[in-house]
Chain A
Amino acid sequence: MNTDYLHILQLAAPETIVTITMLLVLAADLTLMRGQSIVARFHVGAFLSALGCGAAALYALHYSATDDRFNGIIVSDPQTNFVKVAILGLTVFTVLISTSGKFTEHVGEYLSLILLGTIGLMFLVSSRDLLMIFLSLELASLVLYILTAFNKHNARSAEAGLKYFLFGGMSAAFLLFGFSLLYGVSGSTNLTEIAQALHGKGMDPLVLVALVMTVIGFGFKVAAVPFHLWAPDAYEGAPTPSAAFIGAGSKVASFYILAKVFSVGFAGTEGSALMHGYLPGWTPVIAVIAALSMVLGNLTAIVQSSVKRLLAYSAIAHAGYMLLGVLSNTIPGGHALMFYVITYGVTTVGAFGVVMVVEEATGSDALSNFAGLSRRAPVLSVCLLIFLLSLGGIPPLAGFTGKFFLFSATVDAGRELGLLWLVILAIAMSAVSFYYYLRVLKQAYVEDAPTEAPAIRVPGLTLLALVVLAALIILYGCAPVLLTQYL
């Protein structure tokens, strides 16, 4: 086959633009910005990154014709390209909130690593081929390990990075093993061809092993119980923007490709997780993991006193809700999943942005440091209110709309309301989650700040980013069509 390299470049243009941006950011920081203050370097870097990501996003939106001529190595279709745009947007906001950071002197390296991770995620969502999926997933993961350990002044950051790396390496091994078995059974690495090869084979023991291995591998990536153990430490130890990146952009890409691998690659081996109609397959496995994540994530979050840990456990719980969208395995279910993951990403970046400001001003992210926030930083606390209520699923915020989409699509997917048991569990757990989000808000709005606590000065760019994010949450909550029209 005569490979048209120009065409590959055309398909990978957004990634290429971001790569160039990454190099520019690095070069600018190491040459022009030498000797400048950290804040100035962050601002210039953020400006360049935003510009590059914006250009890439515009390109991806514009040239989004369906194109799969390279046998799934890299594809382009409107939905995939929109997910790329969402990832780019989340990256821009992550970069913007990181501008107020004081955790590193290596500004150029930090920002270009975030961009490199973004490139990995973009390749991830545009591949339908096991090998390419694995490669881009590893590219993104390696960047995330470094980002987690980036705060050299903090031993916990290094510990978190190491922990994340060891767990992640292990999960990569599982994933690769699963993929290799899948290749062995089907003779192809392309998802569609795998499905065709598996068709009619039923639950071959080998397929079953491949299935379980793949679930384990992805389970680590999305921090679903029982593969979640790295998450709380990584979120807590990592520099806050890194945690936001793990929780937002990487989650969007992982869930998109997770859904693709299972619904396309494992098509025909769904089985059934219905209440009275259990059949072995991948949906019951996902159902169990989803149920465990929702229960354990929410119940453990209740007792946390560090807000970043609390957000980590809430992320585990949310991964549980999102898995419902995966196992519903219908078109509305997929749309609901993407709506949920993207709005969750927006919320998470915002929530971590607020935590970051509070952390910089008060020295830690302990719950008690949020006391009196409504007085010390009124706008910031309104943003926090919106982010946490959205995570808790209060209408009319995007978190509620997303949950409604997700839960209704899940119930609709099962025959005779057979999946209602999972949704009831999810809704019950969502009621639990309200309690711990309210605990944080109680600190901010009800408790008084320690006397003589000064007002918190919020850096302009960060505040702007947070207000825009909060506005997006309200907007997507009230008018979800704005987002769903692209999905």
Chain B
Amino acid sequence: MLAWTIYISFIGVLVLMLLPRDAARAARIVALFSAGLSCAFAFFGAIQQVQQQSDLGAVTTITKVPWIPALGAQYYLAADGISLMLVVLTGLAAVTGILFSWNIEKRTNQFFAFYLALIGGVYGVFLSFDLLLLFVFYELTIIPKYFLIARWGSTRKEYGAMKLALYSFVGSHLVLIGMIAAWVVAGRQLGHPTLDLTELAKITFSAGFQHWVFPLVFVGFAILAGMWPFHTWAPTGHVAAPTAGSMLLAGVVMKLGAYGCLRVAMVLFPEGAKEWQWAIAALAVIGIIYGAGVALVQRDFKFVIGYSSVSHMGFVILGLATLNTIGLDGAVLQMFSHGIIAGLLFGVVGRMVYDRTHTRDFNDLETMNVGKLLPFAGVTFVIAGVASMGLPGFSGFVAEFQVLIGMWQVYPIATLLAGVGIVLGVGYTLRAVQRGFYSDTPPSPYASHEAHGHDDHPMEPISIPERIGAVMLIAASLIIGLFPSLLMDWIEPCLKSPMFARLLHGGAQ
């Protein structure tokens, strides 16, 4: 059932490519239908597995057929609790992204074709338990991202798109080097080639090998997770992307990177992870503080969210660096939480505000009193903002709290510094709320006249699709915030499974 999430997305791509160019309405409906259907498949597939599987930590095979025998590669789709959670997140992000891009009029069918191709690739990564297959889906997402941004984006779109594409490509090539090296070493140890992740996870690579391969693979994936100092694609890419693009980038694409770090780099090379733990933690903390600090001084509304993403993804990386159960729990939950909240923030800023005011500059927004003109946008942003700063009751709190507890057991000083990042997070969020929505600065006579506020026609009201999308995301964040056990019950068994045993409990297998 879960595998159909991938197939439906790609069938949607084919249908959209065959649609006539000016059938914008049909394109939207096809896109929403296939995203909705794959979301439903993701959701019910996950429920089904939860009900049938007594142990969610076990890797449940969906399909496993030989693919390239010479390499030992298989078409191996499977899922454990972590995959399930991320697949559901992808479904949610895909549907809301389409709802938030209902107003795309230019080459609608191509836009949604690239969009669904990206979604299909993301589903594929989360469900692949064959290293080569995972890599194939991982790289498959690069091209749609590029075209979505370069064609339908805004501010310096071609620069942002190319930067994102090259960063992703460089990252995946670092992974490729590590993957080939691991394949060769594993093949010699086993006597037959294999790329099966569950099998590779049982192999003990020599410490010397892990020492250099782990950073290669980890950094390769972490580039996409926005780890400092490889994060610079994130703000420019997010800002340049169309709304749905930034929602997906922040919502799920950055999770691909984090997922890869966890599933591939850390599980296969646990010794390397222990050796480099301090470095990852340091970079994560720098990312948290740096992202938050830079977000605090931005003039462009979307840059604030872009840098806040870097900061929040820092928590995911920090959680990974704890190498203990509670920290990893938090990291995985933070993936979900940030996916929801960042998607919502980008939706509000990109679609609700920017598409109507045509400016993202705080100096202009201040004079417009957006909060009064677009009350729904204002309220949604406030909710998303407090969720993002980690107010108890929302998903972000549970996740970041666990990360901090986990880190306290390893490097207390890092926990304290990350706490500074949280305080800064409160700062930039409040500043954004205040300057973006609820400022009563009168229009200055010297203000730029390009901004929308200076002409007369009223802003169109917030549309129904936007409202539905926003409510869905807020509800998801609230539900997980109030009942974190819903997802914790999916994540925790995985971390107790044999796959993670070496990582979390030393050499015991």
Q: Which residues of A does B touch, CB under 8 Å? A: 332, 335, 374, 382, 389, 394-396, 400-401, 404-405, 407-408, 411-412, 417, 420, 423-424, 427-428, 430-431, 434-435, 438, 442, 445-446, 479-481, 484
- Do B169 and A434 touch (CB < 8 A)? yes
Say whether chain A's binding surface is mostly helix, strand, loop, or mixed. Answer: helix
A438 neighbours in B (Cβ, 8 Å): 146, 162, 165
Q: Which residues of B does A touch, CB under 8 Å? A: 17, 67-71, 110, 132, 135-136, 139-140, 142-143, 146-147, 150-151, 158, 162, 165-166, 169-170, 173, 176-177, 180-181, 183-185, 187
Closest residue to A424 on the B side, CB-wise? Answer: B177
**Which of B150, B170, B184 is within 8 Å of A408, CB to CB?**
B184
A-B contact list, 6 entries, CB within 8 Å: A395-B140, A411-B180, A411-B181, A420-B177, A423-B177, A442-B150
Q: A395-B136, A408-B180, A412-B184 are in contact. Are A389 and B143 (CB under 8 A)?
A: yes
Closest residue to B209 on the A side, CB-wise? Answer: A417
Closest residue to A429 on the B side, CB-wise? Answer: B173
A400 neighbours in B (Cβ, 8 Å): 136, 139
Q: Give the complex CA separation of A423 and B182 in angstroms.
A: 13
Closest residue to B139 on the A side, CB-wise? Answer: A395
Closest residue to A335 on the B side, CB-wise? Answer: B70
A394 neighbours in B (Cβ, 8 Å): 139-140, 142-143
B110 neighbours in A (Cβ, 8 Å): 374
Q: How far is the CB of A414 from chain B (nearest CB, A)?
A: 9
Q: Give the complex CA separation of A424 and B179 in angstroms.
A: 12
A430 neighbours in B (Cβ, 8 Å): 173
- Do B142 and A332 touch (CB < 8 A)? no
B162 neighbours in A (Cβ, 8 Å): 435, 438, 442
- Do A428 and B173 touch (CB < 8 A)? yes
Q: How far is the CB of A301 from chain B (nearest CB, A)?
A: 15
A408-B184, A411-B181 are known; give 20 further A-B pairs, CB within 8 A. Answer: A332-B70, A335-B70, A395-B135, A396-B140, A400-B139, A404-B132, A407-B176, A408-B180, A411-B180, A417-B181, A417-B184, A424-B177, A431-B169, A431-B173, A438-B162, A442-B150, A442-B162, A445-B150, A445-B151, A481-B68
Closest residue to B162 on the A side, CB-wise? Answer: A438
Q: Give the complex CA separation of A417 and B209 in angstroms.
A: 10
**Which of B143, B146, B176 is within 8 Å of A427, CB to CB?**
B176
- Do B71 and A442 touch (CB < 8 A)? no
Q: Give the complex CA separation of A394 and B150 in angstroms.
A: 19
Q: Give the complex CA separation of A380 and B390 in angstroms.
A: 50
B150 neighbours in A (Cβ, 8 Å): 442, 445-446
- Do A408 and B173 touch (CB < 8 A)? no
- Do A435 and B166 touch (CB < 8 A)? yes
Q: Give the complex CA separation of A407 and B178 in angstroms.
A: 12
Q: Give the complex CA separation of A430 and B170 in angstroms.
A: 9
Closest residue to B73 on the A side, CB-wise? Answer: A404
A435 neighbours in B (Cβ, 8 Å): 162, 166
Q: Give the complex CA separation of A396 and B180 in angstroms.
A: 17
- Do A446 and B71 touch (CB < 8 A)? no
Q: How far is the CB of B164 from chain A (nearest CB, A)?
A: 11
Q: Give the complex CA separation of A481 and B68 in angstroms.
A: 7
Q: Give the complex CA separation of A401 and B135 in angstroms.
A: 11
Q: Give the complex CA separation of A423 and B70 in angstroms.
A: 19
Q: Give the complex CA separation of A430 and B180 in angstroms.
A: 15
Q: How far is the CB of B106 from chain A (nearest CB, A)?
A: 11
Q: Give the complex CA separation of A405 and B146 in angstroms.
A: 27
Most buried by A among B69, B135, B147: B147
Q: How far is the CB of A377 from chain B (nearest CB, A)?
A: 13
- Do B184 and A446 touch (CB < 8 A)? no
Q: How far is the CB of B200 from chain A (nearest CB, A)?
A: 14
A442 neighbours in B (Cβ, 8 Å): 150, 158, 162
- Do A423 and B165 touch (CB < 8 A)? no
A382 neighbours in B (Cβ, 8 Å): 17
Q: How far is the CB of A487 from chain B (nearest CB, A)?
A: 10
Q: A404-B132, A423-B180, A430-B173 are in contact. Are A445 and B185 (CB under 8 A)?
A: no
Closest residue to B172 on the A side, CB-wise? Answer: A431
Q: How far is the CB of B388 from chain A (nearest CB, A)?
A: 32
Q: Kindly list the 9 A-B residue pairs having the minimum CB-CB distance in the complex, ordered from nearest.
A: A395-B136, A446-B150, A431-B173, A411-B184, A434-B169, A412-B184, A408-B180, A427-B173, A395-B139
Q: Give the complex CA separation of A23 and B135 in angstroms.
A: 50
Q: How far is the CB of A210 from chain B (nearest CB, A)?
A: 33
A484 neighbours in B (Cβ, 8 Å): 70
- Do B71 and A404 touch (CB < 8 A)? yes
- Do B151 and A446 touch (CB < 8 A)? yes
Q: Give the complex CA separation of A442 and B142 in angstroms.
A: 14
B181 neighbours in A (Cβ, 8 Å): 411, 417, 420
Q: A412-B187, A442-B158, A484-B70 are in contact. Are A434 and B177 (CB under 8 A)?
A: no
Q: A395-B135, A408-B183, A481-B69 are in contact. Are A446 and B147 (CB under 8 A)?
A: yes
A395 neighbours in B (Cβ, 8 Å): 135-136, 139-140
Closest residue to A332 on the B side, CB-wise? Answer: B70
**Which of B68, B136, B143 is within 8 Å of A480, CB to CB?**
B68
- Do B136 and A434 touch (CB < 8 A)? no
Closest residue to B188 on the A side, CB-wise? Answer: A412
A424 neighbours in B (Cβ, 8 Å): 177
- Do A396 and B187 touch (CB < 8 A)? no
B136 neighbours in A (Cβ, 8 Å): 395-396, 400
